[in-house]
Structure 1
C-alpha cells in the first residue's frame, strides 16, 4: 500500500508539515512532492486552486504518491463544495475515487454537515460511499478487495472551521465520530468574524478564537490543523501544539524563490 505519512504522524502524535498545491499537472505535482523529505502531506486544492476534480485529482495523486521510493507525501484533496446545504457528496466521491488519502471540506459549520461528510467518506456499513472506480486501488498499490477492506480505516476526514457559526458549534463538530481533524482557515475565519485577514499574523482577537478551536479539537481527542504561509509561522504554530501545519504553497514558494534569486543577482 502507498505510504500514508500524515496518518502515521497522527498516530504517533508528531507534527506534520505540508504544502498547498494550486496548479495542475503531473510533473508539477511530482516536483513539489520531491522538494523535501520533510514534506509529509500535500493538499490538492480544488476549491481555490486551478485543479479540476476529474481528471486533475487522479493525475496529481498518482504523481505525488509515486514521487519518492516507498511512496510520496500523503495526498489530501480539498473539494470545492461549501456551506451547510451545498452538496459535497459527489465531490467527495470524485476525490476519493481519484486516490486521495483524505479529504478537506470547506466551511463546515454544523455537526450535521460533519456527519454527512464522514458518511460520504466511508463504505457501508460505516457510511454511504459507492464503489466502482477501476483505478483507485491501483493508485494505492493494492487489489480492489484490499482497498475495500482498508479504505475506511485509512482515509482521513478533515473539516474546515472558518466562520462564526462553526466557531459557535466547534465542540459539537469536534465530537462527531469519524472526523479526524479540524482545519483552521485563518483568512475566511477572520473575515467572517469582522476582522482583517492575517497580514501575515492574525488579529489578536482572532488568535484567541484559533486557540479555542485548537483546545476544542484536542479536548475531543482530534487533531487540529492550520494554514500558514512561511516556515517561521509554521514553527511557531508547532510550538503551540498544532498537529498539521501548512508551510507554503507552490505558487508562493515559486514566486518567493524567483524574486529572491533576482534580488541577489541585481545586487551584484
Structure 2
C-alpha cells in the first residue's frame, strides 16, 4: 500500500509520498510514487500515485508521450504544451484509459483489479495553481478552497491533523510540517507505509522548485518531528482531566442528567426472573 498527500494553498503547494509497496508479508519493496514534470519558467507539475504498481508505472511512462486532439484543430495536446492544468489532467486521464484498454482485460482474467489513484497538480504559465485527484476510470475532480488537500492510499490515519490545521491561508512551511506529521501518524499506525519519503514544496508563480528532497531514517528534521509529536501528544493527553461521574471535583462531569441524553436501558431483578 502507500500514502500520498498534496495540499493547495494561497502561497503554493505541498506534495508528499512514501515509497513502500507490498504484495504480501514477504514481498516488500521500495518504489518511488512521485515524479516531477518541470519546464522552468513555463510549467511545474507533480504526480503522485497509489494502487497497482504495474498500472501506475505504465501510466507514468505513457503520460510523457500521450496526446489528445485539440478541438480547435491545433497540434495535439500533451502535458508539455497544454495551455492549462485542466488540459494536462485530461491528458493524464487519457493515459489511464490507454493503459486500461491495453491491459484491463488481461488483468481481469488473471484476477487482478485495475486499481490506480493519482494526485496531479501544479501550475502552467498564464493561470493559477490547480490540483486534481484522478481515478481508475480516468475521470478526475479538482481541489477547492473548501477542500484544499487530496489523499490517496492509506489516508485515514493522517487525515485528522490535516482537517484541523490546513486552510487556504496556511503558510507553506506550516503546511509542510503538517503533511509530515500526517505521514508520521500513518507510519506509526500502518506497516504498509514506509520510508523513504519524497517531499516537494512549490511557491506560487515560480514555475519551478528547488525545495525537493528525499527523507530517510537518518533525516534529522523528520526524526525530531517524530519524537516531538509523540511527546507533545502525550503531554496534551495527560493535561486533560480524567472522566468524573459526578460534579464533586469538577465542573464537567461525564454523567449526563439531561432529559435528551438518556441511555436505552432495561433493568430486571432476581424476583422478575423467577416469575
TM-score of the two chains, using structure 2 as the length reference: 0.31
Select the structure that is richer in strand.
Answer: 2
TM-score of the two chains, using structure 1 as the length reference: 0.32
With a CA cutoff of 8 Å and minimum separation of 6, indicate the structure with the bigger relative contact order.
2
